[in-house]
Structures are given as C-alpha cells and as structure tokens.
C-alpha cells in the first residue's frame, strides 16, 4: 500500500490529533500545527492539505500504526450529504421498471453516525438488519453556491471512503424519509484518511469494491455513476451553500446485503472492507449495542 499523501485524524495519548500516515508509522502534525489548525477541518478551509503532506514527508514518525485509534477525518462537518441510487445496476435493483432518475436522490447523515477506520460498526439492539454500502466520499474545500459543473472539481479538497451503513427496517419506518435508518449512532464509517485532490483522474474511473469477510459483495467503477462528481456538486450547491469540510457520499453499487435472498445482514464477527483504487481500504468489524 502506498502511503504518500495520506492525512489522518486519530486519537493517541488521550488527545485527538491529526497527522501524515507513512509506511513506518504516523507523523504527528497536530502537535506542531494545532495553534493554527486545531483539526483538519481548519486546514482544509485554509487550503493547507498539500502543505501538510509535504511537511509530513520530511519528518520522522511519532507513533506506530498500532498505537493510534483512527477518527473520522473531518470532525463536526457542517453537512454530510449522501446520494442514493447513483449506479445503473443499483437503480435496476428496485425492479420498478423506472428509468434512471432525472435528479439525484439525497439524504443527510449526522457526524455521530460515523466511526473511523478500525472501529466497530454498531448493530443496534432494536434491529438485526445492519447493512453496508461502500462509497467514494468527497470533501469540500472551496465554499460555493450555484457552482457550474465545469468548475465543480475546483471545490474538492480531498477524497476519502465511506460505508453508508444502514439499518434497513428503520429506513422504512416513515412514509417519506430514510433519516432514521441512516443515522443510528456508529452505524457507518469514514476514512481511513484524506487524500488531497489534485486532478480528475484520481476519481473519474476507479474501481470501488466492498468485501464482507473477504467475499466481494459490491464492485463497480465510478465512470458508470448516473450523476458524475461534477453534476453532484453543481446540483447540491443549487439549494445549499457548500462550505469547507462538508462531505458528500456519492452513492453505492449494487450488492448490499438487503438485496440477497435471504438478506445477508451484518453480525458481530463480520469484517467489512471498502476499497477504491488509489484511496486505500476502509475496514470495520461489527459489534452489538449494549442494552441500556
């Protein structure tokens, strides 16, 4: 695995920190830069990610990989926007004979519903239907409203991976929304790191794969998305101002556990891995929620 250009948020020695992930370990940039950038969110707002990468390349490591706990890369983002049904085969899964939608389907998630790489996704005691959805996630760097598609990629600061974990029976609790099933505490994950966005080739046509216990469940390419990265940013910025640190999860391929017969729900002991070319592997186990 190549480690160049990976910025990570983590906890070590009782402190939330950030740094550069290197093959030999983690460079603690937070201890050196926290007065100016308390978190990676402030560094993103200042356009400082590439500078942090360069700094991390020149310093020795401060922590071994096993000595840290990964956090979600962006603490307290103002918005986490998620795209539903954004791959052709995913649209076909609904078996409603409808063509691809004219506009993206969107919903929001709360930061508390995500954990970092290596942490356990929590299966709530009110449901056994915890499911996985592997996605590429965009992190906004340059604020904007009514962004033209031609300029949309200029607003991306970094890329990461997401598991849009869903509690399926709670997705349909209400008549018109999916909010409940998408926001159980610690039901999804983000990470493992931020990779500064440099050019469209980083994301335009990359393989996205989800494995459960080593078995490939989801596999597709971003070039097949119904709504491109440019279109998503342009559309979302029509109704809301995108700000630095906002996260957009861009949709998942076919193959979620709910679509099997019988369904393949996640359970303690399972390991979910989300992998995309050039972006690494986001890995999480599963744990049951403790009853109050």
pLDDT digits (tens, 9 = 90+) for 161-206: 999 999 999 998 888 779 999 999 999 999 999 999 999 999 999 9
Q: Which residues pair with 51 in a beta bridge?
A: none
* CA–CA distance, 135 with 138 (Å, rounded to integer): 10
250 belongs to a structural domain:
yes
- Examine the fold and report which residue of 25, 44, 70 is the final residue of a domain before the chain moves on: 70
* CA–CA distance, 262 with 268 (Å, rounded to integer): 18
Cα distances (angstroms) measured from residue 258 to each of 94, 152, 217, 232: 11, 33, 11, 26
Cα distances (angstroms) measured from residue 58 to each of 33, 51, 55, 124, 141: 15, 11, 5, 44, 24
Q: Do 119 and 232 fall into the same domain?
A: yes
75 belongs to a structural domain:
no
First to last CA, the chain: 41
Residue 258, SS3 per DSSP: helix
Q: Give the pLDDT confidence of 55-105 residue by residue, as tens digits.
A: 999 999 999 999 999 999 999 999 999 999 999 975 555 555 566 789 999
Among candidates 72, 285, 283, 32, which has minimal Cα distance to 193?
A: 72
As given in the structure block, the two tokens for residue 52 are: 């942090």
Is residue 150 scored above 50 in pLDDT? yes
179 belongs to a structural domain:
yes
102 belongs to a structural domain:
yes
Q: Which domain holds residue 192?
A: 80-288
Give me the pLDDT at residue 209, please.
98
Q: Do 60 and 104 fall into the same domain?
A: no
What is the band of 1 on the pLDDT scale with cuts at 50, 70, 90? very low
Residue 236, SS3 per DSSP: helix
* CA–CA distance, 74 with 86 (Å, rounded to integer): 24
**Residues whose CB falls within 8 Å of the CB of residue 188, separated by 6 or more in sequence, listed in order:** 109, 113, 114, 115, 121, 162, 163, 164, 165, 166, 182
Q: How many CB atoms lie within 10 A of CB 39?
A: 19
Q: For the chain, how many structural domains are there in total?
A: 2
DSSP 8-state assignment for residue 56:
H
- Domain of residue 163, CATH code: 3.90.850.10
Q: Do 281 and 231 fall into the same domain?
A: yes
Give me the pLDDT at residue 91, please.
53
Cα distances (angstroms) measured from residue 166 to each of 142, 251, 257, 274: 30, 13, 10, 15
201 belongs to a structural domain:
yes
Q: Do 171 and 270 fall into the same domain?
A: yes
Q: Do 43 and 148 fall into the same domain?
A: no
As given in the structure block, the two tokens for residue 86 are: 């954004």
Q: Do 110 and 37 fall into the same domain?
A: no
Question: Could you tell me the pTM of the whole model?
Answer: 0.95
* CA–CA distance, 198 with 8 (Å, rounded to integer): 18
Q: Do 175 and 64 fall into the same domain?
A: no
Q: Do 135 and 278 fall into the same domain?
A: yes
Q: Which residues pair with 249 in a beta bridge?
A: 82, 137
- Examine the fold and report which residue of 51, 70, 89 is the final residue of a domain before the chain moves on: 70
The pLDDT mean for the chain works out to: 94
2 belongs to a structural domain:
no
Give me the pLDDT at residue 92, please.
53
Cα distances (angstroms) measured from residue 75 to each of 44, 114, 159: 12, 10, 15
Q: Give the pLDDT confidence of 212-257 residue by residue, as tens digits.
A: 999 999 999 999 999 999 999 999 999 999 999 999 999 999 999 9
Q: Do 222 and 272 fall into the same domain?
A: yes
Q: Do 134 and 259 fall into the same domain?
A: yes
Q: Do 188 and 96 fall into the same domain?
A: yes
- Examine the fold and report which residue of 29, 47, 70 is the final residue of a domain before the chain moves on: 70
Mean pLDDT over residues 252-274, rounded? 97
Q: Do 60 and 86 fall into the same domain?
A: no
Is residue 127 scored above 60 in pLDDT? yes
61 belongs to a structural domain:
yes
191 belongs to a structural domain:
yes
């Amino acid at each position: 695995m190549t480690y160049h250009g990976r910025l990570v948020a983590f906890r070590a020695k009782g402190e939330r920190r950030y740094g550069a992930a290197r093959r030999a370990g983690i460079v603690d940039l937070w201890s050196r830069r926290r007065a100016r950038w308390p978190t990676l969110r402030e560094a993103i707002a200042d356009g400082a990610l590439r500078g942090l990468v360069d700094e991390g390349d020149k310093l020795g490591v401060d922590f071994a990989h096993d000595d840290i706990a990964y956090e979600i890369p962006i603490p307290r983002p103002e918005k986490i926007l998620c795209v539903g049904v954004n791959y052709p085969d995913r649209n076909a899964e609904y078996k409603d004979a409808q063509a691809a939608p004219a506009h993206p389907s969107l919903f929001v998630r709360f930061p508390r519903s995500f954990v970092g790489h290596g942490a356990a996704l929590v299966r709530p005691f009110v449901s056994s239907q915890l499911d996985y959805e592997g996605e590429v996630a965009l992190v906004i760097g340059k604020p904007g409203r009514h962004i033209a598609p031609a300029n949309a990629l200029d607003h991306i600061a970094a890329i990461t991976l997401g598991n849009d974990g869903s509690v399926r029976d709670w997705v349909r609790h209400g008549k018109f929304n999916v909010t409940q099933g998408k926001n159980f505490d610690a039901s999804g994950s983000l990470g493992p790191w931020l990779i500064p966005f440099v050019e469209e080739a980083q994301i335009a046509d990359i393989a996205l794969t989800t494995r459960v216990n080593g078995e490939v469940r989801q596999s597709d390419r971003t070039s097949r998305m119904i709504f491109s990265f440019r279109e998503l940013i342009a559309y979302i910025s029509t109704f809301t101002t995108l700000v630095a640190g906002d996260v957009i999860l861009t949709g998942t391929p076919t193959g979620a556990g709910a679509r099997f017969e019988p369904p393949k729900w996640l359970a303690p002991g399972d390991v979910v891995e989300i992998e995309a070319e050039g972006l690494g592997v986001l890995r999480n186990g599963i744990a049951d929620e403790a009853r109050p």
